[in-house]
Each structure stands twice: as structure tokens, then as C-alpha cells.
Amino acid sequence: MKYAHTTQQAVTWLALASMISSTVIAQQPVPPVPRAEATEIALPLPEDRGAAALEQSLKRLGTWASLMIIIAHPDDEDGSMLTYETRGHGVRASQLTLTRGEGGQNAISADAYDALGIIRTNELLRADQFYGVKQYWGTEADFGFSKTKEEAFAQWGHDRVLYDAVLAIRRERPLVLVSTFVGGVTDGHGQHQVSAAIEQEAYRAAGDPKVFPEQFALGVRPWSPRAVFSRMPFAPVSSKGMFDYATGKWAPMKFYNYVTQEWSDKELSTDVEIPTGSYDPVLGRSYTQIAREGWGEQKSQNGGGNPTLSDGGESEYHRWATSVQGLSGVQKSFFAGMPTGIEGLASLVSAPPDWLKSGLAGIATQVDAAQKQYVAANPEAIAPVLKAGYQATLALRQRVTSSQIPGRERDDLIAELNLKMEQFQQALTQSLGLDLQAFTTRSTSIGGGPFGGGIDETSRSVSPGDRLEVRIHTGNATKAAKLERVWLESSDGHGWTSKESAANGVANPGSDVTLEARVPEDATPTEPYFTRPSIEQPYYDVSRPEWRGRSFAPYPLTAWAEFRYEGVPIRLGEVVQTMQRQVSVGGIFEPLVVTPKIGVRVSPESRILPLDGSPLPVRVTVHTEGPADGEVRLKVPEGWTATPAEAEFHRKVFGDTAAMLFEVKPPAGLQDSSFMIQAEAESDGRKYESGWQWTGHAGLRPYNMYRKAEIKTRAVDVKVAPGLRVGYVMGTGDTVPEAMEGLGVTPHLLTSSDLMSSDLSAWDVIVLGIRAYSARPELGMVQNRLDAFVEGGGTLIVQYQSGTFPAPFSLAMGRTPERVVEESAPVKILDPQNKLLSWPNQITSHDFDGWVEERGHSFLDSWDAAYTPLTETADAGQDPQRGGLLVAHPGKGTYVYMAYAVYRQLPELVPGAYRLLANLLSAPKAGATASGSVPATGTNGR
């Protein structure tokens, strides 16, 4: 390490610091302890336990190097680089992700938009555990694929994005900023370009006190990073220019430096090479291997990651600007030329006094000694050295606080010393083998059964007024520290506990303390603090400004334990957990949350009015956390009627959720417009108008998403052939089958067994859901049966797929499938008389009015002459796309490929999407119209 020299001045300072801090501790009933956030993670990764964890903590103690990466979406991150920096070199790393990925695709479920955003938030938090980074978020919402940064800025607003970036930088104070992208067309996605452009702009803006001064009320101060980097472009750059994968075209070579505001027509230079493929002998894997496992946790986007072999590899970065002088050539570190050792903290002060320099040297000496003396088999041996380092840091902090160092410099220095105190606390905790776990339990517990390992399976949630018991388990592997007290704290400041804390010495380390708690009657539900009125708003509103940038609102209840080691207090905190068992996963911890006593849900959440004029069926489900009685009624628009006017519910036990059926009738002469119907439950004089659902997937920490109990409906002028027998092959999940029910068609969801062995001729139409060929591998094995079904007279409708797939005649997508992202892009009807477009509804370009998010994606690039293209569309500047709706007629039947995002339009009740779907489903009966024997029936247009 760097600190082999130990001056007499440093030795004298250490002795004085030890005396000062010991006196301070003795005089104060509650010693000053750094208040780090309680962990939300009940079970750390293997890399964050035992000897490996302490080894990394000692690396962190020896440096104040820090970086922040700014990206657009979850899964954009350079996880290998982050893991190399954090786990390999002790760098304090953070990540700002502008969006929560809510506009992306979902490879595992039908959750979309804000629900998908919650899933991707938790997936990235899981990946962050592998990377070792702290997560921040922007308020921008992913509105779907964007081809230019101009469109993204127009949607979000430039100042909103800059505000989020500056706030995160000021909170975290990184020495270095990095981005995965460069801010040009090589980034492809326009939102990628924004993340890089704003990273460079924020490099200049964050340190300017005139920029967003209102942020200072949140406790932040101006901060100027020392350097800003971007990863080298991953798209081809050659003599042809730069490849823009968003458009699939080449552009002239031209890069913009947003810091210096200068253009360059030369290739970017590689200024830093990070050896991310390096092997870590303590962790037993390369940093890339660790990172790729984390990246693979983002299953909604990639379906799970592949194993990664141990080999070399590196990440190359370009430097846009730096305050460091004299750098040349390719560096091996972002921090080249920066004094990132502990003594380098003096560089935060323009004229550092000698006592500051010697104090920092003394702390560095203790860290150096701990690193050299550490032996994995005897971690407790370095606890005295860590204690001395902690005391020296505490004493220096106190002196800095009362010093004449200028205000901003003093604040920066205190912030870094606070971080060092937290790091000493963590290292002491690990060297002494201290542990804390807190979870709800039952008074009737008998030890958790054969699977629980002494931990009870309990409800994920509590409601206002509930009583609960929290079991706080502490561990002390070395028995060198004394447990002083344990207590509970609520995040909203309300008193939950009937016992404030356990008295001093109430329990020996390694034993349990059970505290009783009662949820306040005014406790608020645990729900996202970020909301938006509809998916049309491309950003979130935040309920509390101080939470802006957080992953979620704080969980409601935290357990704390305070140990004392030779006069030094050590605090551990953990969000109170519950234990759940998931089939195929086993027992997992999930943070305790608060929910209302009653939740109300309506299904479906959107549906067109019945075509035959019959009442609209509305199902209302009331969920209660225990016994409850009450009434449910519907709020309908003026002139509408609901039958019954009111329905009673009587819930005796948790989980009793039988649905109540209402019938809603609109008035005659209804105009084409959307209408909202709301459900309301009343119990014990209180009204409830929303419900919640756990949003996540197996093995992922879920989170509650709340929705108003309402159904959106609309009268749509649409006709569909009668008596259709439809089979549906669900891909990764969508709501198309529900929309078909609105058309009066009840689809049968085909199982693997149905596809393999049932008589497919029992169906008139088989529809393949989005990405079905990827999600349902059996489709490839039964393609010959599907081909025979079509040749025998059936209709096969294939919605967009994620790659080239088998078909009756050859077809192919480009390497990067084309998409049309402008939802208002003109659509030209190429064959208006084709029966798919003319019966039973005449499809015109107006049927593509009012679409949301996009026209579609995975447009075909080439196809056999047997296919007939029916439409043409394109974004501005894009080549005409005719591969969005193709039809062929193998044998007696009909084969259709549809890249248009009808599945996104149906839940939004876009009339043209229903009319197009009705025509495709009606294809088997279109041939009978000549004789009039099969009339098109059904319309709710009034």
C-alpha cells in the first residue's frame, strides 16, 4: 500500500486521537455513531460474507475514489467495469438510471408499462448487489424505442433530465462520471444518447451553485467531479462513417463534446482501458463473471443470462474532460493523477492545515496496518487496529467541524470522513463476526417447521391497527463485543413499538429478542412514491421531493442493534423482513409492508362494450387482511345503470376473495368516447377505492403496485364473424385473449399437450402471441402440424416475434429487426380490397389513428413471393416498411404475420386495433360472404 511512511507527527496524532475519542465516548450516554441506512437485503451474496467481505472492506478503507455511471435503462450498465472498480479496488460506485425501463418488452409475463417498471427496478437492484453499487433513479419514463435524442428530450424536457442528474451527483459526490454511451448516433436508441449527453452536461452544471439552487433545501451542496468518460462506441465506426443501429443507416463521422461544446470529425480516442476480465483469487471468479450473473438477473428483458467463461477482456473509455493535468497515453484507471488515498482528502481543502494532513496520515497508517495484519482465519486480530482508525477518524471529524476551514470545503471533507466512519464500522462488524436479522414471527411459533430453519412463514403485510411480533436475532462470532440494546424504528416517525427497546444487556449476543409492535391507525400504505396519471405522460410525479432519486419509498419498519467493542459503539440495522416460501425457489425474505385493511380490484380493467347490446359484465373482487363485512357499489357515468345497485361482502378469513358480478348498461345513442366505471367498497364507515397486486416474478423481491378499482370502456364500431373457434398460444404474456372476449370470441389457451397431440382442426383460427417462438420452444417441434392446419383450411395469425422463425414460405428479419416507433407514422393501405382489410370491416388509414407508443417492431426484411404485403409505413427518414402485415394462402388456409403492436392498443381501447383484429380472426369465414350465408354480426356502435 501507499502508506509505509509513519512520521512522528502522525504517531503523536494517533495517540491524541485515541485519548480524545475515548473521552468523548465515555462522556456521552449515546455515543456518536455514523447513521448509515439500514440494509434492505436479508441475505447478502457469498461475495459479501466472511473473509471475502472483509477483504473488500479493507480495500474501501484505503481509498476515497468514487464514480457514478449514468445510463438510460436497466441493463444498459457496464457491470463488468463497475464490479472491477468496487470489488477489485474498493471504489465507491453509484449508478443513475434515468428510466425504469417501463417501455421495454417483457420476456416473462404480461406486466407492462408502470408494472414492468417496478419489475425492472427490482431486477436492477438485484444486479446491483453483484456490481456493488448504490442505485439512483431519474423521474423519466421509458416511452418506447426512440430513434433520436431530440425526440427523447422533447418528451422529457431537457431541464428535467439535467435536474435529476445534477441532484444525484450532488448527493453522491463522485470523483468521476462515466456513461455507457457517447451521445451520438452510434448509441442507436435516442434515450441512450440523452443519458450520455446529460452526463457530460451535468459534469459542468453540478458544481455551479447557480444551477438548480432549490436543491440545496434537500441537504445537498454543489459538487464538481474531476473527470468525465464514455465507453467507446459499440456500433461500427469506419471509413464509411458511423453506423446508427436505430435507423440501420450510416452517418458521417461526427462526435460532439458536450463539455467543451465542440464537434470533431475524427474517431474517439481510447484513453482508459479497464481490465474487467481480471481474475479475483479471493472471490474465485473474474469480475466479468460476477457481473454477468448480475446482469442475467434482469430476466424480464433477457430471460436469464448465460454462463460466462473465465477469460480476459476489458472496457475501453474515452475521456471528454478532466481537471487533472499532464495525462497522456492510455491509462489503466479512471483516477490517474488523482490523489485517491486517504491522505488525498486534504486536496478538498485549498490551504490544508498541518493538523489535517497529519490526521489523515494517521488514519492511513491504521488502515495500512489492518490490511497488512489481516489473516482470513483470524479476522478478530485486526479489530484493535480498526478501532483505533475509527477513533482517529471520529476525532478528526470533530476537529474539522469546529475548524475555520471554509464552509464548502469543510462540508465536503466532513462528508468524506463520515463515509470513512461508516466503512470502519462495517469492517469492525465483519472482523468481529457481528450479525443482525429481523423478521416477523408468530407467538404460537414452534420453530418454523421442517422447512423453516427456525423462521416462521408470516404474512407479507400488516394493516393499520394490527399487532405484530418482531424477532431480532443477533450474532457475535468472536464474543468480543457486548450487545447493548435493540430497538425498532418506523420510517414515517410514528411510534410502532409497545417496547421502545430492550434494556442494556437484556440478551447475550447470539440469542433473540422479540419486540411487540402495533401499526398506527394512520400508517400509510407501502407504495411507489412515483406515479403518473396515464402512460401518455412520459415522466413521473413524485409524492415527496426528498425521495426523488430513490428506488422506492422507505420500507415501514427497521430493527437496530447496538454493540460496544472496547468503548466503540457499533450499530447494525435491517429492514424488518417476512419469510415466504415459493415453489421451486424455497424460503425467501421479503421486507414487511403496510397495506390497507381492504383492497378492491375490478376485472377486466378495460373492455369495449358488448357488440350485441347486452350489459357489460364487471367483476369486483374485495381482498381483506382479515374478517370484514361491507358493501360494494359501482360509480357509473350519468345515464348508465348498474345491477345490482349494491352488493354485500362477508369475509371470514384471509384469502377469501370471491368475485361479485355486476352488469352495467349504457344509455341509448352513446357517442364514440371512453368512459370510466369505478368500484367502491365500504366497511366500518371507511371507503376503499383501490387495490394492489404483488408485482414481480419467482425469486425476485416483489413490490406492491396500487391501481384504482376501475374499468375503462368504449363503444366501438366493429363487426366480427359469428361462431369463431379460436385457439391462442400465449407467448410471454399479453391481454389479447381478454380483448377477444370483448369481441364476443372466447379463445382457448392452447397447452403444450394441445399443440403436440390434439386435433388442431377443432379450431378455425390459431393465434400465436408475442414472442411465442422464443417463449414456447415446443412450437418449433410442431411447425409441421401448424403448417398442416393452415393447408387444411385453418387460419394462423403470428404476432411479432423476436427473431426469424419457421413459416410455410421463407421470410426473414434483418440482424437488427426494423421497427416503426412513431405512433402517428402514416400507414398506407396497399390492397384495400383484400378480404383481410375489407371484411367484415373496411380498414383504412384512419384505423391507425390514436395509437400509443409505437406502430410496431420486428418488421420483416424479406419474404417469399407467396406473401402479399397489405400495408406500408415508416418513421421520418426510414425506408418504407412493407413487412408489417403479410398474408399468404398455403393450401386452403390463411397465414398472417403481423408486426403492428396491436397488443399494446387493445388495452387502450383503440378502435382501429379492434377492427383489424376482428378482420384477421374472421378470415376463415370471409370466403362464405359471396353467398351471404355467413353474415358479419355484432356492433356496439350507437
Summarize pLDDT for 400-442 with one digit per residue, the tens. Answer: 999 999 999 999 999 999 999 999 999 999 999 999 999 999 8
Q: With beta carbons less than 8 A apart as the criterion, state whether 656 and 628 touch.
A: no
The amino acid occupying position 628 is A
Q: Is the pLDDT of residue 789 over 60?
A: yes
User: Which region among 319-328, 509-518, 565-574, 826-835 has the lowest average model confidence (pLDDT)?
Assistant: 509-518
Cα separation, 35 vs 33, whole angstroms: 6
- Find the mean pLDDT for residues 699-706: 91
Mean pLDDT of the chain: 91
Query: Quick one: cell of 596?
Result: 390497507
Cα separation, 415 vs 173, whole angstroms: 9
Q: Is the pLDDT of residue 216 over 60?
A: yes
Q: Is the pLDDT of residue 9 over 80?
A: no
Q: Is the pLDDT of residue 854 over 70?
A: yes
- Is there a cis peptide before residue 554, judged by omega within 30 degrees of 0? no
- Find the mean pLDDT for residues 376-383: 97
- Find the mean pLDDT for residues 854-866: 96
Q: Identify which of 799, 905, 901, 916 has the alpha carbon closest to the alpha carbon of residue 847.
A: 916
Q: With beta carbons less than 8 A apart as the criterion, state whether 497 and 487 touch.
A: yes
Cα separation, 921 vs 910, whole angstroms: 17
Q: pLDDT value at position 76?
A: 97
β-partners of residue 571 are: 562
Q: pLDDT value at position 35?
A: 63
Pairing of strands 703-708, 690-695: antiparallel
Cα separation, 127 vs 130, whole angstroms: 5
Q: pLDDT value at position 2?
A: 36
Give the best-scoring range by mean pLDDT among 255-259, 483-487, 585-589, 657-661.
255-259
SS3 call for 437? strand
Q: Is the pLDDT of residue 816 over 90?
A: no
Pairing of strands 598-603, 641-643: unpaired
What are the E-state strand segments in 267-331? 272-274, 279-280, 285-286, 315-322
Percent of the chain with pLDDT over 70: 92
pLDDT digits (tens, 9 = 90+) for 120-131: 999 999 999 999
Q: pLDDT value at position 733?
A: 85
Q: pLDDT value at position 502?
A: 52
- HEC assignment per residue over 126-189: HHHHHHCEEEEECCECCCCCCCCHHHHHHHHCHHHHHHHHHHHHHHHCCCEEEECCCCCHHHCC
pTM: 0.91
Q: pLDDT value at position 509?
A: 59
Cα separation, 305 vs 79, whole angstroms: 13
Q: Is the pLDDT of residue 27 over 50?
A: no
pLDDT digits (tens, 9 = 90+) for 733-774: 899 999 999 999 999 999 999 999 999 999 999 999 999 999
Q: Is the pLDDT of residue 577 over 90?
A: yes
Q: Which residues of 833-846 are buried (b: 16+ CB within 10 A; e: fewer)?
A: ebbbbbbbbebeee
Q: Which residue has the higher pLDDT, 577 or 494?
A: 577
Q: Is the pLDDT of residue 446 over 60?
A: no
- Find the mean pLDDT for residues 142-170: 96
- Find the mean pLDDT for residues 225-241: 94
Q: Is the pLDDT of residue 505 over 70?
A: no
Q: Is the pLDDT of residue 450 over 60?
A: no
Q: With beta carbons less than 8 A apart as the criterion, state whether 884 and 898 touch.
A: yes
Q: pLDDT value at position 583?
A: 82
Q: Is the pLDDT of residue 498 over 90?
A: no
Q: Is the pLDDT of residue 25 over 90?
A: no
Q: What does the chain come to in residues?
A: 942
Query: Quick one: cell of 822?
Result: 412513431
Task: Look at the block and give the residue holding cell 480495500.
Answer: 59
Q: Is the pLDDT of residue 99 over 50?
A: yes
- Given phi > 0 = left and psi -120 to 50 = alpha, else beta, which region is 59? alpha
Q: pLDDT value at position 157?
A: 98
Q: pLDDT value at position 246?
A: 85
Cα separation, 324 vs 229, whole angstroms: 13
Cα separation, 121 vs 609, whole angstroms: 35
Cα separation, 226 vs 203, whole angstroms: 8
Cα separation, 518 vs 462, whole angstroms: 10
Q: Is the pLDDT of residue 280 over 70?
A: yes
Task: Give phi and psi for 817, each to the nearest 5.
Answer: -55, 140
CA angle 898, 904, 908 (to 5 degrees): 130
Cα separation, 203 vs 225, whole angstroms: 6
Task: Look at the block and give the residue holding cell 476489458.
Answer: 314
- Find the mean pLDDT for residues 482-493: 91
Q: pLDDT value at position 671?
A: 79
Query: Quick one: cell of 681?
Result: 367498497
CA angle 901, 907, 908 (to 5 degrees): 85
Confidence tier at 697 by pLDDT (50, 70, 90): confident
**Could you give the angle at which helices 50-61 and 354-373 cross, rounded to 10 degrees?**
160
